[in-house]
Amino acid sequence: MTNDLMLLMPLIIVGAGAILLMIAATYDKFTHELAAFGSAGIFAFAFLVQLASCISGNVALFSEAFNGLLVVSSFSKAAGLIILACGFFTAMSSLSYFKQNSFCSSEYYSLTAFAASGMLLLTMAQELISVFIALEIMSLAIYILVGYDRKNVISTEAVLKYLMLGAFAGAFFTMGSAFVYGAVGSTKFVKIGQFLAANGFLQSSLMIGGAFFILVAFLFKAAAFPFHAWVVDVYDGASVPVTGYMATGLKTAIFAVFANFLVLDDTLHKGWINYLFYIAVFTMFVGNLIAIGQQSLKRMLAASGIVHSGYLLIALVAVSTTEFTGSVIAYYLAAYAASTLGIFTALSYLGGSGEARKTFEDFKGLAKKRPYSAAAISIFLLSMAGIPPTAGFMGKFYIITSAIDAGQVTLAVLGIVSSIISMWYYLRLIINMYFHEAEEQFNEPVLSSFAPVCTFILVICVFAISLYPIVV
Amino acid sequence: MFEHVLSVIIFLPILAGLLLLATPASRTIARFTGLITSLAVLVLSIDLYAGFKATGYLEFVENIPWVESLGVSYFLGVDGISLFILMAGSVLLPMVYFIFATKEKGYYANLLIVQGAMAGAVCAADMVLFYIFWEVMLLPVFFMLGLYGGPKRLPATLKITLYTIAGSLLMLAAIIYLGVSYHAQFNEWSFAMDKMAQLNLSGRVAAIAFFGFMIAFAIKIPLFPFHTWLPDAYTEAPTAATFVLSAIMAKIGVYGVIRFVVPVFDLEFARFAILLAYSGVIGMMYCGLAAITQKDFKRMLAFSSASHMGVIALGVFCMNLQALTGSIYQIVAHATSTGVLFLFAGILEERTNTRTIEDLGGIAAKAPVFAVYFAIAMLASVGLPGTSGFIGEFMIILGAIKFNTVIGVLAGTTLIIGVCYMLWMFQRVFFENSTARSENFKDLSLIEGLAFLPVIILIIVMGIYPHPFLSKITPSTALQFSQPQAIVSHAPATNAQDFGLTIEQK
């Protein structure tokens, strides 16, 4: 029991912290800066606890808490670490962001903590109802965060779109769970797996329908083709730190539960692998096509997020091979999170008041005026593009290796072709920053040094993850 | 001789370059840091050269496991093939700091990084490590070209970057395919190059992987028809970047073919060698003819460099000892002669503010030392007996005739084109009447003259007394040809028999 509680500790810390922050926010003296430090502290503490349990490692790999509703594995621990780090850096970059933008209140940080507790729960959930609850805890907090800038029309539009579509996805998920329950008589992943192993996937029409609905919900949240259309508008409408949080933390949680769902039910995985193949390919190429045409940096990053979902789907297609279960996905998520968070952290202090700098053109000549920031952004972009020696390269290397190892050579080559295409829009920003003359001064003072420091830490992370590739 | 000398040769320039970029150093400090670092690397390299025992196998090996679950390791070593490319880089690069005194900090810093990365690519004995250095060496060129290049630099930068990255990502897929095949056949993960020769590859996927490697290297060399990025990039790049691209980076493409393609894909290589050899010969002719018509001397040198790379690549595709040894020799000869020619072109451009051949004339009278140096480098480039260019080209043509008479004859006669454009250009720029732009041309200063002198001497020594160099190359090249036989013998009998161009029928 103590062991189970220890494993659950990060979730408890973040959840309790979120409630405390919410209560504290009712006091006027508790300014949003204090809340930022508070939430950063909570994330840091939970991160250290999680790290300690990762390092000690002697806990049973499949220790059961709460009657098997939640299961902690090394994969879920790694995903939890990524999510907590994302929360920490989001809090820090928000601190800098809200020096230049004024729509913040203390509840903002409480909501990031609530979202994180939902994400943590999601990585551990091994039962459909728990997954649904976790999904909703996370999503509700994120909906509010997306629309936090109430007076901004674009932000309001974004939240409306996301809320409507997200509600549909939630409904699909519950419907699917009900179908699966009808077929299996249980909502536990383990029981579903046993049922599939005994009866096969295609024997029960309830099972096919249920799995289809659940997959739709996951694909929607993971921004995969053909449920990707919301991504660009929503990411564009949300404020920079929230976009960064969605692109990293939320995606980590979704892919964690997606992998858990597919891996445990090996028959299910085999049944869907052909469809996942096409979904992965279309996700990559549609994402690329969207990204190429963008003028706004945030929209480009949103579209490139779709492409990265495609790479992760490659890993999901290949995930059943015994040697690579989960670790490839966790590694890629860590690499992707470090570079994406880095670029959003940099944007949170370079964007200017009211996110004045948006397009590629606005960043022309940045390297002349702010050489260190431009170098950091370039490193993040190169990591996202998968150029060595950055973390993104190692992540891509693992994914391609696992795909070829699983016999998916075509998928691997298509992934490579997709990353060749993606070079264009990543290089475009580097070219704008370095090879054009500056049209403005970029001289507004940086009011808080937290975001620049975090950017620097993330640069180190990008290299460290690559040079010490710890595979969980 | 200490243990980690290769690591120091690789990482000393990279760290110095990164340090320069990260600090607000002035131009002078940057130049002297670059100069001292590259001279230190030169000293280490000479030491390495002296300690090299020419066993044919990898020497100065460093092997540290890196990603143990996939068998990737930090594995370095040099043999007779890589040693000479490494030496070419170490000997040639210090000159740049002597000659170009007033460039920006980033110019010198990027030059240092590219030097380290190229050394890394040449010394790497693990495929993943090789790939990492291979990609890293493109980045400084990207920045140098984009920041300090000519007026039309942006399209040229994009072209070379996208072209090479497309090629190298395909190579990454091929590298991973080899690693996975090794795991499947020997039940152990490894990406070490020397182990890949044991692989038993056949079928269509192997042919695709072969082209994955081959296209990446063909783009870097560049081999016809993948040469279209070259004229723009070489012309628009700042002199030092052109120098690096032509003198060393292009050679690493040839090195890649020798190191990966020949031992691992011996069957595919044998099957497609004639096709590749023809593309080498066509590249020689096409680029040579294009060079004759150029009005811009830097662009002419670019085409001439591409033409000569065709000869070097041809030497590799002929699959015999003479041609391969000749290729390695020619790599050094071409690096010295063409590299120096590009530097001279940079000096010419800086002092006259033009690159058009017609605007110049009569420089020999104004600057006799410059003219003599230029003439020696130029004659080495066209392969005059007594210069370094002759030995390599002679061996390549000899091997080519052994391989296929038609190709040998075509290659031999094409060399004449090289003489045409070079001598014609020399006549127009250095003789005839002087023009307004060349009237006040200053000769090389003492420092510049002394900086170039060792390389000029090297060109002549290599032409007259090639034995000490050849004796270090031959054991490794001989080993290249002793290995494939063993593999062919245990390769599936069906594949061993259809050596012809049968892939289309399947």
Q: Which residue of B has its CA nearest to A470?
A: B67
Give the pair of three-digit tokens for residue B22: 């990260």
Q: A412 near A400, Cβ under 8 Å?
A: yes
Q: How many CA atoms lie within 13 A of A175 on its CB side?
A: 13
Where does A128-201 have alpha helices with state H? 128-146, 153-184, 189-199
Beta partners for B73? B65
Share of chain B above pLDDT 90, in %: 12
Which pLDDT belongs to residue B12? 92
3-state helix, strand and coil shares in percent for chain A, rounded to the nearest 5: 80, 0, 20
Which pLDDT belongs to residue A136? 92
What confidence tier does B53 reach under pLDDT thresholds 50, 70, 90? Answer: confident
Give the pair of three-digit tokens for residue A188: 């536990």
Which pLDDT belongs to residue A88? 94
Q: What is the DSSP string of A358-426?
A: -BTGGGTTHHHH-HHHHHHHHHHHHHHHT-TTSHHHHHHHHHHHHHHHTT-HHHHHHHHHHHHHHHHHH
Dihedrals φ, ψ of B296, to 5°? -105, 125
Can you tell me the mean pLDDT for A388-417? Answer: 88
What confidence tier does B488 reach under pLDDT thresholds 50, 70, 90? Answer: very low
Can you tell me the mean pLDDT for B30-43? Answer: 91
Can you tell me the mean pLDDT for B258-282? Answer: 85
> A389 and B180: CB-CB below 8 Å?
no
> A375 and B69: CB-CB below 8 Å?
no
Beta partners for B356? B296
Q: Is the confidence at residue A268, as pLDDT, over 70?
A: no
Q: B246 near B118, Cβ under 8 Å?
A: no
Neighbours of B424 (CB within 10 A): 14
Q: What is the DSSP string of B240-284?
A: HHHHHIIIIIHHHHHHHIIIIIHHHTHHHHHHHHHHHHHHHHHHH
Q: Before B222, cis peptide (omega within 30)? A: yes
CB-based contact (8 Å) between B17 and chain A?
no
Q: A369 near A426, Cβ under 8 Å?
A: no
Longest dimension (CA), chain A: 68
Q: Is the confidence at residue B492, as pLDDT, over 50?
A: no
Q: What is the DSSP string of B416-472?
A: HHHHHHHHHHHHHHHSS---TTTTTPPPPPHHHHHHHHHHHHHHHHHHH--HHHHHH
- For residues A161 and A413, give the distance between their C-alpha atoms in angstroms, rounded to a whole number: 35
Shortest alpha-carbon distance between residue B323 and chain A (Å): 34
Shortest alpha-carbon distance between residue A314 and chain B (Å): 14
> How many contiguous H segments (helices) and E segments (strands) does chain A have?
19, 2
List, for residues A322-376, the tens digit of each pLDDT value: 555 678 888 899 999 999 999 999 988 888 777 778 888 888 888 888 888 899 9
Q: Is the confidence at residue B493, as pLDDT, over 60?
A: no
CB pairs under 8 A between A and B: 72
> B169 and A420: CB-CB below 8 Å?
yes
Closest CA to A403 of A284, A305, A303, A323: A323
Q: What is the mean pLDDT of chain A?
A: 86
Q: Is the confidence at residue B503, as pLDDT, over 60?
A: no
Closest CA to A251 of A275, A276, A221: A221
Q: A162 near A230, Cβ under 8 Å?
A: yes
Q: A80 near A13, Cβ under 8 Å?
A: no
Q: Is the confidence at residue B496, as pLDDT, over 50?
A: no
What confidence tier does A142 reach under pLDDT thresholds 50, 70, 90? Answer: very high
Give the pair of three-digit tokens for residue A364: 């022309």
Shortest alpha-carbon distance between residue B169 and chain A (Å): 6
Neighbours of B406 (CB within 10 A): 14
Mutation for testing the A interface, residue in B11, B168, B169, B185 having most A CBs under 10 Å: B169
Give the pair of three-digit tokens for residue A192: 């579903």
List, for residues B117-139, the tens digit of each pLDDT value: 999 999 998 999 999 999 999 99
List, for residues A198-216, the tens digit of each pLDDT value: 887 777 888 888 888 998 9
Q: How many CA atoms lie within 13 A of A436 on its CB side?
A: 16
> B173 and A413: CB-CB below 8 Å?
yes
| DSSP single-letter state for residue B359 | G
Q: Is the confidence at residue B337, as pLDDT, over 70?
A: yes
Q: A316 near A258, Cβ under 8 Å?
A: yes
Q: Which residue of A has its CA nearest to B206?
A: A409
Which pLDDT belongs to residue A170? 93
Q: A435 near B144, Cβ under 8 Å?
A: no
- For residues A166 and A159, give the distance between their C-alpha atoms in angstroms, rounded to a whole number: 10
- For residues A121 and A8, give the distance between their C-alpha atoms in angstroms, rounded to a whole number: 9
Query: Under DSSP, is residue B296 helix (H, G, I), strand (E, B) or coil?
Result: strand
Can you tell me the mean pLDDT for A130-139? Answer: 93
Structural domain boundaries in chain B: 271-487
Q: Which of A217-221, A308-312, B204-208 has the lowest mean pLDDT?
A: B204-208
Q: Is the confidence at residue A1, as pLDDT, over 70?
A: no
Closest CA to B195 of B181, B209, B207: B181
| Chain B residues closer than 8 Å to A431 by CB | 146, 154, 157-158
Which pLDDT belongs to residue A22? 92
Q: What is the mean pLDDT of chain B?
A: 85
**Which residue type occupies B330?**
Q
Q: Is the confidence at residue B245, as pLDDT, over 80?
A: yes
> A397 and B173: CB-CB below 8 Å?
no
Q: Which of A187-201, A363-377, A419-433, B296-310 has the lowest mean pLDDT?
A: A187-201
Q: Is the confidence at residue B240, as pLDDT, over 50?
A: yes
> A435 and B147: CB-CB below 8 Å?
yes
Which pLDDT belongs to residue A471? 60
Q: Which residue of B has its CA nearest to A412?
A: B173
Dihedrals φ, ψ of B295, to 5°? -100, -15
What confidence tier does A69 reach under pLDDT thresholds 50, 70, 90? Answer: confident
- For residues B101 and B28, give the distance between their C-alpha atoms in angstroms, rounded to a whole number: 8
User: What is the total residue count of chain A?
Assistant: 472
Can you tell me the mean pLDDT for B71-84? Answer: 88
Q: A442 near A366, Cβ under 8 Å?
A: yes
Mutation for testing the B interface, residue in A325, A401, A413, A456 having most B CBs under 10 Å: A401
Can you tell me the mean pLDDT for B423-445? Answer: 82
Q: What is the DSSP string of B187-200?
A: SS---BHHHHTT--
Dihedrals φ, ψ of B76, to 5°? -120, 155
Q: Is the confidence at residue A409, as pLDDT, over 90?
A: no
Which one is predicted more confidently, A28 or A110?
A: A110
- For residues A182 and A172, give the distance between their C-alpha atoms in angstroms, rounded to a whole number: 15
Which pLDDT belongs to residue B498? 37
Beta partners for B126? B192
Q: Is the confidence at residue A193, as pLDDT, over 90?
A: no
> How many contiguous H segments (helices) and E segments (strands) does chain B have?
23, 2
Longest dimension (CA), chain B: 72
Which pLDDT belongs to residue A225? 84
Closest CA to B175 of B135, B141, B139: B135
List, for residues B348-398, the tens digit of each pLDDT value: 888 888 888 888 888 888 888 888 999 999 999 888 888 888 888 889 999
Mutation for testing the A interface, residue in B129, B148, B161, B165 having most A CBs under 10 Å: B165
CA distances from A337 to A172, A238, A246, A327, A452 (A): 28, 18, 10, 15, 17
Give the pair of three-digit tokens for residue A259: 């992998």
Asked if this assembly's ipTM is beyond 0.85, the reply is: yes
- For residues A328 and A326, give the distance between their C-alpha atoms in angstroms, rounded to a whole number: 6
Q: Which residues of A touch B (CB under 8 A)?
A: 323, 375, 382, 386-389, 393-394, 397-398, 400-401, 404-405, 409, 412-413, 416, 419-420, 423-424, 427, 431, 434-435, 469, 471
List, for residues B316-325, the tens digit of each pLDDT value: 888 888 888 9
Share of chain A above pLDDT 90, in %: 42
